Structure 1
Amino acid sequence: MKTLWAFFICVLSLSAAAQVTYKCEDNFKVFEGRYLIKEYNDAYKLLSELRVKCPKVNENLYVYGEAILKYEIEVAQTPEERKAMVEDLAALYNEQFVNFPSSGADVKKTQLQLDNKLITTSEAYKAFTASFNKNRQAFMDFNSILAYFYMVLDDFKSGKGMTDEQYFEKYGEISTQVAFAKNKITEDKQTLLKKKETAMLTDVETQFVADAEYIIDALDNVAEVIQKQSRDYVSCEKLEAYYGKSYEDHKNDYNWIDAMVNALYDKKCFKSALLQKGAVALHTIKPTKDTAYRLGMIGLKTGNKEDALKYLEQSASMEANSERKSDIYYQIASSHKNTDKAVAKKYVQKTITLNPKNAQAYLMLAEMYATVPANDECGLNNFERKTLNYLAIDTAKKAEVAEPKYKAAVAAAVKRYEKNLPSKEEAKAMGKRRGDDITFGCWINEKVTLPKL
């Protein structure tokens, strides 16, 4: 009888546990529904109960809870109400970190407390360091990465113990983390866009896709700040020594190489063999418009125009945005305008086709027409070269139509070209008069009809 009674109690216990599990899931769905239709007051009431009774029911409990509490902070009527909500959000982050350690909620908590002066900078530095060392992959927030970098920099500048080597180590680690965060967000966005082709995204996923570009741009800005703030403490020689000694150990680590290439490239270490090696490695592992563009620019900086043209063309072919593709073609044109005018004109025309408002392209082409040297490959005589100024003037004026802000630049260029127009006597000496066509071959490949001289 005792055995049967024990069995009965066990069954009741299991049944009760099942009911609790069911209640957690059921209440979470109700909570989620309230959140999705923005009934935050009702959702907030359910949030408190779920945090206590069902802390592991679903990680979105904390995602939605974060949004709700941020809303409550925003609409708080008094400083006391706001402080209470800030402290509640900090507690939520703490609970999220306990139940979902890989969420990065510990970093969010530290940033929140720092922003609201609930902890000192010194305490935040210790907390960030602990988070960074323990679970670096979750250290993704661009505000926190930048804040942590500034704390490291201040520690180094204080002269209280951080050596040059230790600073470089941190500089490298944080730079790598920026590259990791950027690449991870880019990959996750692409994965979700692929998923969207065959399935509906959740609200959280849809929001992530919507925010991704902004976050990537912010991370690019963080990387730029890190390079600028470190420029007095790093040099091409120091960067090559630091990254060179560890390259073989990290040659398959895309994010590490990405950070190394960014550091060397931003420091303008274009003659660095390590920069070239790393840039080629990135493009080999995962070719993108950015890796191709960077190789193209390195080629231009080092005088290897053949490679530069190849890689910039690759970058342009991968670029979906017409304006950015136009900018790449403008780079190619600029690099060839003094050495190969046929190539330069070809890419100026591509630039203008993709972006008719690129005034600089018109001004570049006008200058090319106006500055054809004597005895160049086109074999023009002095009168023909002067006649090209009519073409230069017409082309320059198109720049003002494209972008009115270039009015002053166009006026200055036109005034300069007008000084070099052929005279009536020069035309008569060549047997030319008003209405005659002067046809130019070579790279120019245009026709000028002489006006009244």
Structure 2
Amino acid sequence: MMKRITKLVMVIFLLTGISTVNGQDKYGTEPKKCQQNLSLFHESVKAKNFEGAYENWKWCFDNCPKASLYVYSDGIKIAENRYKTGDKTAAAKLINDIYTQRIKHFPKNLGKVYSDWAKSLIKIGATKDQVFEKLDTAFKADPTGMSIKNLANFFQEVTDRNKDTNVQKVFDTYDDVVEGVNNKIDKLTKQSDVINAKDSLGKTLTSKEVKKRKNIGINLTALGQVEGVLDRIISKVATCDRLIPLYQKNFEAHKTDSKWLRRAVSRLFSKECTEDALYPKMVEAWVTSDPSPKAYIFYAGILEKRGEKKKALEFRKKAIDLETDPYKKADYLYRIARTMYGSSAVSYARKALKHRPNMGKAYLLIARMYAKSANSCGTDEISKRMVYVAAVNKARRAKAVDPSITSKANGHIRSYSAQFPSKKILFVAGVKSGSRHKVGCWIGETVTVP
């Protein structure tokens, strides 16, 4: 009995001792002073009293650097203020020391940390190469952690440095960024779906869930802008005149490299460089090296162009049947929708939405099909123009469920809203604003008269 008690006492002592050692390790050799100074400098920084915060902050920076991330996030604010108001050389060194020590003791979110470091270097007038070095390190760590502005600056620099000597590097960098961003969008969207599903069932969301959904929306909106920013930069480089010779030159060396083929085919498709004989050759090589659902979708496009519509549809259905991830399945259904027109396109877009209810681009596709059918789905000026109201409703729904496409959706809304029936036309026809109107033909939706 005494042995058991002795063992229990020893275990408690060891655990308590370990806890104390860990606490001392985090807060240094003077934990109470560290905690006190942490609180004091943080409150001073919140009050924007940066100079008043310096002494307490510097003590923590030197004596308990592992205590809190505030040592670094507040430290940068203090150091950048000193750069503005004091010895610029000393402050510039301090800024670099803060980032170096932060990475040593808190080596997480390095994409964002190095991106922020580059931002600080710009503020203190560092050279272009010094800034690019940090942006390059940020990109290699995690491009999705970089700010949109820094991503754009980095990609612009990569493009400028390589467009005439190594254009493949430009394309690879673009692909790495876009794939990383799209993966992060998918991840955040799935997290948002869980919260939205709970909300749709009438269950009360916790304050943490409400805040998380709001932050996800903000992040999705920002991430949704990335591809458009990069496209504007790459547009002068990624032309058919450049792409075709490049891929012809490299095809033999990469004809069994499924990653290279996937990226090359996707780029040729997105840039509408599909008329050259190289395109179907590359698609067939991709299907051979990687008989995957995505490859089947592209191959179906080749078959359809050759007039083999039945076989094309078989491959599309095969791709959908093989895919187990509902988000990817939705993407393939959306791709099928893009190859069709009118009610057929809308039918597949709706199937995509069943697997991914917040697929904003599917709603935008429906909006476009509605707008293109305005003349055929209306019998007079008002009924034709009311089709655009239905189109705007879908575009609004698109950005409501998917903040990442807000910018695109707003462009559709502006364009279609300009086609609404005017108050004069409505007055002459005796149609009241606010009344209900059923859109004709295959659309069949009831909308409110603007």
Matched, 1:149 2:155: yes
Q: Structure 2 vs 1, CA of residues 202 and 311 (structure 1 numbering), >3 Å: closer, same or farther?
A: closer
Amino-acid identity (%): 13
Please name the residue that 1:181 is paired with.
181
Q: Distance in 2 between matches of 1:442 and 1:209?
A: 38
Matched, 1:52 2:62: yes
Task: Give the residue type in structure 2 aligned to 1:109.
Answer: W
Q: Distance in 1 between matches of 2:427 and 2:242?
A: 44
Cα offset, 1:173, TM superposition: 2.8
Per-residue CA deviation, residues 8-28 of structure 1 (Å, 9 max, x unaligned), is xxx9x9898456236457746
Q: TM-score, normalised to structure 2's length?
A: 0.54
Contact 2:333–2:348 (Cα < 8 Å) also in 1? yes
Q: TM-score, normalised to structure 1's length?
A: 0.54
Which of 106, 117, 120 is residue 109 of structure 1 equivalent to? 117
Please name the residue that 1:169 is paired with.
169
Please name the residue that 1:267 is paired with.
271
Cα offset, 1:286, TM superposition: 5.6
Task: Give the residue type in structure 2 aligned to 1:175.
Answer: D
Cα offset, 1:331, TM superposition: 0.7
Cα offset, 1:442, TM superposition: 8.0
Task: Give the residue type in structure 1 aligned to 2:339.
Answer: G
Cα offset, 1:86, TM superposition: 5.2
Please name the residue that 1:310 is paired with.
347
Q: Structure 2 vs 1, CA of residues 347 and 393 (structure 1 numbering), >3 Å: closer, same or farther?
A: closer
Contact 2:76–2:98 (Cα < 8 Å) also in 1? no
Q: Distance in 2 between matches of 1:66 and 1:40?
A: 13
Q: Which runs of 5 or more structure 1 residues have no equivalent in the other structure?
A: 1-10, 367-391, 403-440, 446-453
Q: Structure 2 vs 1, CA of residues 286 and 115 (structure 1 numbering), >3 Å: closer, same or farther?
A: farther
Q: Distance in 1 between matches of 2:53 and 2:211?
A: 17
Q: Distance in 2 between matches of 1:154 and 1:340?
A: 49
Please name the residue that 1:433 is paired with.
none
Q: Distance in 2 between matches of 1:70 and 1:293?
A: 49
Contact 2:346–2:365 (Cα < 8 Å) also in 1? no
**RMSD (Å) for aligned C-alpha atoms:** 5.8
Task: Give the residue type in structure 2 aligned to 1:149.
Answer: F
Q: Structure 2 vs 1, CA of residues 39 and 97 (structure 1 numbering), >3 Å: closer, same or farther?
A: same
Q: Distance in 2 between matches of 1:247 and 1:43?
A: 61
Matched, 1:21 2:25: yes
Q: Distance in 1 between matches of 2:143 and 2:443?
A: 56
Q: Distance in 2 between matches of 1:210 and 1:309?
A: 26
Please name the residue that 2:335 is paired with.
295
Contact 2:38–2:57 (Cα < 8 Å) also in 1? yes
Please name the residue that 2:104 is paired with.
98
Contact 2:337–2:345 (Cα < 8 Å) also in 1? yes
Contact 1:235–1:267 (Cα < 8 Å) also in 2? no
Cα offset, 1:55, TM superposition: 2.9
Cα offset, 1:131, TM superposition: 5.6
Structure 1 SS opposite 2:235: helix
Cα offset, 1:330, TM superposition: 2.9
Per-residue CA deviation, residues 87-132 of structure 1 (Å, 9 max, x unaligned), is 43332222122234452333432343245322x2234445544565
Please name the residue that 1:333 is paired with.
370
Please name the residue that 1:434 is paired with.
none
Q: Structure 2 vs 1, CA of residues 86 and 179 (structure 1 numbering), >3 Å: closer, same or farther?
A: farther
Cα offset, 1:218, TM superposition: 3.8
Cα offset, 1:299, TM superposition: 1.1
Please name the residue that 1:406 is paired with.
none
Structure 2 SS opposite 1:287: helix
Which of 39, 46, 51 is residue 38 of structure 1 equivalent to? 46
Q: Which runs of 5 or more structure 2 residues have no equivalent in the other structure?
A: 1-13, 199-204, 287-292, 299-318, 397-411, 435-439, 445-450
Contact 1:34–1:43 (Cα < 8 Å) also in 2? yes
Q: Distance in 1 between matches of 2:297 and 2:185?
A: 23
